[in-house]
Structures are given as C-alpha cells and as structure tokens.
Amino acid sequence: MSRTELQSLGEFALIKRLSQGAVLRQPGTHKGIGDDAAVLSAPAQEQWLVSTDMLLEGVHFDLSYVPLKHLGYKAVVVNLSDIAAMNGIPRQIMLSLAASNRFSVESLEELYRGVYLACENYEVDLVGGDTTTSKSGLILSLSAIGTALTSHIAYRHGAKPKDILCVTGDLGAAYLGLQVLEREKQVFLANPAMQPDLEAYEYLVQRQLKPEARTDIIHEFREMGLVPSSMIDISDGLASEILHLCEQSKLGAFVFEDKLPIDKSTYETAIELSLDPSTCALNGGEDYELLFTISQKDYEKIKLHPQISTIGYMVAPEEGVWLKTRGGQEVPIQAQGWKHF
C-alpha cells in the first residue's frame, strides 16, 4: 500500500479526500460537509438528541489489535447507541480528528471506510467535523445527532416501582473478546512469528471490534407502540448501568442471576479463562445493548421477543439494589465497571 504523508497534502486537501465517501441519505440534512456549518431539520414535532464522545489512542483503543476500519465503525456505533438509548433515531454524525504524522493519508482513509460503512448501515449522514494535527497518536471526537417525539424520549430517570427490567441481546461477550485479543497480543509480543488464533472466539472478537447499536429495537418499539419508562445503553457494564437507572429514578431493583442473557461462547470462554460468566455479564463493558424498564401492562408486548430478556424489576429505594444468585443468596450490586480513570 502506498503511503502519502499528511504534511504533503495539507488540511484542505485532506478534508476533501476524507469526505469523498460522504453520502447524504437523511431528508433532514440540507447541507453536510463543505460550508461553515451543517444545516439540518428535525421531522415535524420531534426534538433533537445530541451526544458526543472522545476516543484517545492508548486510552480507549489500542491500534496493535484494532484495525482502523473497525475503529471508525465502532466510533460511530458507540455514539449511535447513545441516541438509541434515548429511544431516538440517529440522523447525523460529526467527526473531528487529530492525527500525528505517524498516520498516513491512506490509513485515515481506512478509518473513514469504517465510518462510512456504519453511516450506510445505520442510515446516518456524516455532516462535518474538524481536522488537526496531534503531537502523539490519534484522537477522535464523535458527535451523534438524532430525533424523537417528545412523548417517546426515554430518560434514565423515568422508571417506576414494579416496572420490569429488560435487556436486549446478550452480555459479557465484548469483554471476553477483549481478554482474548489481549492474550493474543501478549503471545505475539513474546513471539512475533505466532499468528493469532481467534477462530474459536469469532463471536466474542466481533462483539469487541465490531459492536452494533440497537437501533433495530428502537424501530421495533415504535411498531409495537412501546415506550420504555427508562432506558440506558450498556457501555460500562450491566451492574453500573442498573445503578445509574436506580439512582436517577430514585429506586432500588432486584435482578436475577439466572435471567442474565449469556451466549454459549461467552460462557465457555469465561470458564476457560477462569472467570465467572455472570461477573463478565454484570461487569464486562462495551456490550452496547440496551437496558430499559417497562410498565407491567407492556409485558405482553415483549414477552416473546427473542432479543429481549426480562432480568428483574424495580422496587422502592429503601429495598436496595440486589442480585439474587442461582444459589438463592442476595448480593448487593456494585459498580466495578469499565473505568478509564
């Protein structure tokens, strides 16, 4: 692959190269990249949802095992997940980046290929950003813009006592994918001739490197006429997010260990690595599934849904936040999560 130095191109030419793949699909995008500001409109009656995230090389990602295209994809997805977590539909994103001269134009184009793939899959438009140099490494700042009807917005504070706690998909896989990648990195550092052996861990590695935002569930909520009473996305681990919902809704919760959705390969790999599968599901991060509460009258709407598990229910705040284990014990739920600090 040829290597074009960033300095040889200059800022404007670089922006032009990187923005070449931008396709505008949203009727609410009136002007995307190319002017001093993007021009957007929300569908009638809907409100804006805006969220932003920073990703720093060495803090949030490690390019020794994260391909740049995957990084671009994941950076978009984790932002879209925040819009989904408000029960909104993502519409646009903005992407700012600072890159050191270690990066070539081609490598940034590879990053953008991942960004554009996510834009295509989720039908969102890249409408702008900023480009600058960094003294060391790569820094990304992503913002996502979405919309929702006022009456559909799901806050963290909306849960009521007796509401049912639900999660989408399965948990713990992304965390185990990271463990597997870290292990292979150590093997590789010790002996660069060793090729990574990831086949058996395909699902876990994919969950770590190429997570998806559950916008599919948001669309389904609309079709079934369901508005969760509260919602949050699971980026820092289920336990930590349950505590956020409880704190903001001023409630307690009972969660049942035997209801935690854990994929077979997650379970088996946890055992192989001498980890407790339930702990991985509770405290592993980066699943980007949705944790939400529904009123009991809505239970019929979700009870047969293959991608939704009911894991517990909300109680009065004095009752606390507890995990009821398989063995019948009650263990307080504590955040251990995914701390970059």
Q: Which residue carries 């994260």 as its tokens?
A: 66
Is residue 11 involved in binding Mg ion (CB under 5 A)?
Answer: no
Alpha helices, DSSP H, located in the chain: 6-9, 11-18, 68-84, 105-122, 173-190, 202-209, 215-224, 238-249, 264-272, 277-283, 299-302
d(CA 315, CA 254): 7
Q: What does the binding site for ligand ADP look like in residue numbers (CB under 6 A)?
A: 15, 18-19, 33-36, 95-97, 126, 128-131
CA distance 243 to 163: 15
Closest to 216 in 3D by CA, of 158, 144, 289: 289
CB of 209: closest distance to ligand ADP in angstroms? 22
Cβ 116 to ligand ADP, closest distance in Å?
Answer: 11
Task: Find which of Mg ion, ligand ADP, none residue 33 binds, CB within 5 to 8 Å per kind.
Answer: ligand ADP
Smallest distance from ligand ADP to CB 140, Å: 9
Minimum CB distance to ligand ADP, residue 31 (Å): 8
Residue of minimal Cβ distance to ligand ADP: 128
Which residues are 140's β-sheet partners? 55, 97
Residues in contact with Mg ion, shown as a per-residue x/- string from 115 to 154 under the rule CB under 5 A? ---------------x------------------------
Of 99 and 315, the one with the shorter C-beta distance to Mg ion is: 99
- The vertex-65 CA angle with 61 and 70, nearest 5°, equals 70
Residue 215 beta carbon to ligand ADP: minimum distance, rounded to whole angstroms: 22
Nearer to ligand ADP, 130 or 276 (CB): 130
**Ramachandran quadrant class, 31 (left: phi over 0; alpha: psi -120 to 50; beta: rest):** beta
Q: Which residues bind Mg ion (CB under 5 A)?
A: 130
